[in-house]
Structure 1
Amino acid sequence: MTTAVDSASWLTGYIPDLPTPFDAAGGLDLEAFARLCARQIEAGVPAVVVCETAGEASTLTLAERKAIIRTAAGIARGRARIIAGAGSNATARAIELAHCAEAAGADAVLSVVPYYNKPMQAGIYQHFRAIADDSRLPIIIHDAPARTVRELADDTLAKLAQSSRFVALRDGAGDVGRPLRLAGLLRPGFRLLSGHDATALGYIAGGGDGCISAVSNVMPDLCQAIFTNLKQGRPQAARHLFRRLIPLQACLADADPAALKYALSLLGLLRPDSRLPIVEPDDAAKAVIARAVAGVADEDLAWAAEA
Structure 2
Amino acid sequence: MLRGSLVAIVTPMRDDGAVDFAALDRLLDFHLEAGTHGIVAVGTTGEASTLDVDEHVAVIAHVVRRVSGRIPVIAGTGANATSEAVTLSRAAGKAGATACLVVTPYYNKPTQEGLFQHFDAIARAIDLPVILYNVPSRTACDLLPETVMRLAAVPGIVGIKEATGNLDRARAIRAGCPPDFALYGGDDATGVALGCLGAQGVISVTANVAPRAMREIWDAIFAGDLEGARRQDEALAGLHQALFVESNPIPVKWALHAMGLIGPRLRLPLTPLSGHRRAAVREALQQAGIKL
The TM-score, its normalising length taken from structure 2, stands at: 0.95
**Displacement of 1:238 after TM fit?**
1.7
Q: What do you get for the CA RMSD once the two structures are aligned? A: 1.4
Pair 1:25 & 2:27 matched: no
* Structure 1: distance between partners of 2:155 and 2:125: 14
Q: Report the counterpart of residue 144 of structure 2 in structure 1.
A: 153
CA contact (8 A) 2:5 2:207 kept: yes
Shift of 1:294: 1.1
2:242 corresponds to which residue? 251
Letter in 2 for 1:109: C
Q: Judging changes above 3 Å, is the alpha-carbon distance between structure 1 residues 63 and 183 closer, same or farther for their aligned structure 2 residues?
A: closer
The aligned residue for residue 188 of structure 1 is 179
- Mapped partners of 1:135, 1:169: distance in 2: 17
| Greater Cα offset, 284-293 or 28-37 | 284-293
1:3 aligned partner: none
Report the AA paired with residue 263 of structure 1: A
* More moved, 155-164 vs 216-225: 155-164
Q: What TM-score do the two structures reach when normalised by structure 1? A: 0.90
Pair 1:287-2:287 in alignment: no
Could you tell me which of 260, 277, 291 is aligned with 1:268? 260
Worse-superposed segment, 24-33 or 105-114: 105-114
Q: Secondary structure at the match of 1:254?
A: coil
In the TM superposition, what are the counterparts of 1:1-307 in structure 2 within 5 Å? 9=1, 11-255=2-246, 256-297=248-289
CA distance in 2, matches of 1:106, 1:75: 12
Counterpart-to-counterpart distance in 2, 1:52 and 1:118:
20
SS at match of 2:159: strand
Indicate if the aligned counterparts of 1:180 and 1:207 stay in contact, CA closer than 8 A: no
Q: CA deviation at 1:293?
A: 0.8
- SS state of the match for residue 123, structure 2? helix
Deviation at 1:121, TM superposition (A): 0.5
Q: Structure 1: how far apart are the matches of 2:205 and 2:81?
A: 26
Secondary structure of 1:169's aligned partner: strand
Q: CA–CA distance in 2 between the matches of 1:148 and 1:276? A: 18
The structural deviation recorded for 1:131 is: 0.7
Greater Cα offset, 205-214 or 233-242? 233-242
1:15, 1:45 within 8 Å by CA — same for their partners in 2? yes
Question: What amino acid sits opposite 1:180 in the alignment?
Answer: R
Work out the CA distance in 1 between the residues paired with 2:95 and 2:51: 15
Query: For 1:137 and 1:294, how far apart are their aligned partners in 2?
Result: 40
Identity of aligned residues (%): 35
Cα distance in 2 for residues equivalent to 1:123 and 1:163: 15
Structure 2, unaligned runs of 5 or more? none
Q: Deviations over 1:21-77 (max 9, x none)?
A: 001111110010011112112222232001110000011112212221121111111
Query: Over residues 202-240 of structure 1, what are the superposed CA-to-partner deviations in whole Å (9 max), with x where a residue is unaligned?
Result: 111122111000000100110111122233233332222
Shift of 1:19: 0.5
Give 5+ residue unaligned stretches, structure 1.
1-8, 299-307
Residues in 2 aligned to 1:233 and 1:108: alpha-carbon distance in whole angstroms: 27
Instruction: Name whichever of 196-205 and 177-186 sits farther off.
Output: 177-186
Tell me how far apart the structure 1 counterparts of residues 169 and 196 of structure 2 sit (CA, whole Å).
11
Amino acid at match of 1:261: K
Q: Offset of 1:134 from its aligned partner? A: 1.3
Shift of 1:261: 0.5
Aligned-partner SS, 1:45: coil
Q: Is the partner of 2:254 in helix, strand or coil?
A: helix
Give the length in aligned residue pairs.
289
Q: Secondary structure at the match of 1:253?
A: coil
Q: What is the CA distance between 1:283 and its match in structure 2?
A: 1.5
CA contact (8 A) 1:86 1:110 kept: yes
- Contact (CA 8 Å) 1:194, 1:200: kept in 2 or not? yes
The answer to whether the 8 Å contact 1:62/1:100 transfers is: no
